[in-house]
């Protein structure tokens, strides 16, 4: 193939087709002994239908024809399809399937970078002499996954990770696609802006308002226009539209600024409840700013300075990025509990880093529909404060404290 040389940098992006539905189907056939493959039914994974709760995590092809969308309430999906069957997820089994897939990748690829539970980047550079022409080998690998693990994948191939990921999203299922730089104009530019990595609903709406409707339109828009309208995020998607990848190569570097706040306390905190109240105020301050900027953070950290001026820090990478106050507060309290040794505290700080466009949150099974519910509550509080002032409404946690903790940057 003319795109691929023996010494060329080659990446595979491998993504499981309809992972949660495929893995739930395997669970029911292998573990429960069921004969019927739920992938052939009007089926979703997403909650207990008898309790009429939960959201759609995955849907079958036939269910999709009824207009059922991932992320919508199960109750709503049932209205669209009277024959719909809903199955509760078995996360432990999905993790086992993911682990088996990654182990198979490690048999062949020098470098495997798991990007989520159902996708990974494989650096296949330098493997030409081992496996031959990359596209032909990708077909063999795809078939091996189907035959040995029981589910299908798409494989995207390119000279950088961004284009490989874009290629894997082309026609599904069980396909191999290439998207090399000289194929961008033909294969990627005609696609709608929503198909570009890092373009969420909010960004897409703003792009349409500017008359930018395809990825090619983004690529051809003046760089200064993109930067002035979307700040650093505009730089990212402009480069992505032109096939330039500078974020997926090293995800340890933050693409945009972080958000942080700290406070020096006028008395030494010696009780965890006092610390929790302070942390709540800091988290709310940070999350308000993230929501205003339409970004979410993937890493949260807590800093403590004790009465002897000894500073300690602790951080955690989240399953999914967030700008929800309650989510950040819960994690920050856990970090505090793991960090604090009981010494009197003079300063507490909270920071949120590795931020991305708010529309790029990837659903995970551990928060189900709670994230959207909490986010809607936060946005309602933000609107009230914007209209009537920051003191117009306060969280109950503040009202129960006899300490003054409401002086935070907003």
Are 167 and 183 in contact by the 8 Å Cβ rule? The answer is: no
In angstroms, the first-to-last Cα distance of the chain is 56
Maximum C-alpha span of the chain: 72
Torsion of CA 226, 229, 234, 239, to 10 degrees: 0
Catalytic: 194?
no
Burial 174-203 (b: 16+ CB within 10 A, else e): ebbbbbbeebbeebbbebebbebbbbbeeb
- For helices 91-108 and 19-30, angle between their N-to-C axes, nearest 10 degrees: 110
Tell me if residue 277 falls in helix, strand or coil. helix
Q: Which long-range contacts (CB under 8 A, 24 or more apart) does 93-101 make?
A: 93/23, 93/24, 93/26, 93/27, 93/31, 94/19, 94/20, 94/23, 94/24, 94/365, 97/23, 97/26, 97/149, 97/151, 100/149, 101/16, 101/145, 101/149
User: Which is the catalytic residue, given 34, 72, 103, 119?
Assistant: 119
Burial label for 150, CB within 10 Å (0-12, 13-18, 19+), is middle
Who contacts 209 (Cβ-Cβ below 8 Å, separation ≥6)? none
Q: Among candidates 372, 352, 373, which has minimal Cα distance to 361?
A: 372
- Measured over the CA atoms of residue 274, residue 278, residue 279 and residue 280, the dihedral's sign is positive
Q: Among candidates 350, 172, 177, which has minimal Cα distance to 277?
A: 350
**Rounded Cα distance, 205 and 209, in Å:** 6
Rounded to the nearest angstrom, the gap between the alpha carbon of residue 191 and the centroid of all alpha carbons in its chain is 22
Active centre residues (catalytic): 119
């Amino acid at each position: 193939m003319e795109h691929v040389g023996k010494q060329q940098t080659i990446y595979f992006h491998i993504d499981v087709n309809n992972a949660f539905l495929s893995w739930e189907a395997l669970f029911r056939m292998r573990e429960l002994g069921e004969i019927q493959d739920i992938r052939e039914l009007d089926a979703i994974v997403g909650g207990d239908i008898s309790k009429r709760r939960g959201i759609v995590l995955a849907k079958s092809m036939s269910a999709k024809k009824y207009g059922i969308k991932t992320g919508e309430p199960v109750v709503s999906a049932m209205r669209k399809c009277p024959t719909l069957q809903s199955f509760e997820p078995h996360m432990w089994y999905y993790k086992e399937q993911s682990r088996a897939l990654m182990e198979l990748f490690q048999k062949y690829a020098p470098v495997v970078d798991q990007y989520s539970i159902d996708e990974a980047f494989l650096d296949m550079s330098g493997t030409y002499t081992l496996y031959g022409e990359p596209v032909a080998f990708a077909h063999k690998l795809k078939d091996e996954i189907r035959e040995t693990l029981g589910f299908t994948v798409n494989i995207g191939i390119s000279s950088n990770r961004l284009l490989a990921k874009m290629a894997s999203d082309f026609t599904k299922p069980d396909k191999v696609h290439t998207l090399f730089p000289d194929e961008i104009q033909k294969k990627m530019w005609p696609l709608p802006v929503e198909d570009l990595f890092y373009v969420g609903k909010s960004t897409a709406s703003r792009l349409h308002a500017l008359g930018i409707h395809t990825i090619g339109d983004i690529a051809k828009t003046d760089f200064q226009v993109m930067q002035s309208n979307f700040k650093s995020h505009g730089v990212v998607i402009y480069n992505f539209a032109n096939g330039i990848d500078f974020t997926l190569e090293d995800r340890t570097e933050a693409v945009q600024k972080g958000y942080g706040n700290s406070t020096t306390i006028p008395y030494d905190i010696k009780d965890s409840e006092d610390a929790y109240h302070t942390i709540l105020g800091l988290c709310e301050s940070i999350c308000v700013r993230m929501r205003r900027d339409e970004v979410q953070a993937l890493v949260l950290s807590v800093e403590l300075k004790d009465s002897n001026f000894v500073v300690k820090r602790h951080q955690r990478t989240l399953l999914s990025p967030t700008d929800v106050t309650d989510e950040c507060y819960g994690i920050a309290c856990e970090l505090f509990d793991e960090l604090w040794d009981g010494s009197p505290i003079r300063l507490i700080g909270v920071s949120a880093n590795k931020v991305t466009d708010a529309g790029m949150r990837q659903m995970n099974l551990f928060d189900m529909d709670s994230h959207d519910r909490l986010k809607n509550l936060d946005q309602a509080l933000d609107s009230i404060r914007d209209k009537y002032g920051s003191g117009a409404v306060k969280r109950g946690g503040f009202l129960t404290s006899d300490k003054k903790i409401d002086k935070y940057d907003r």
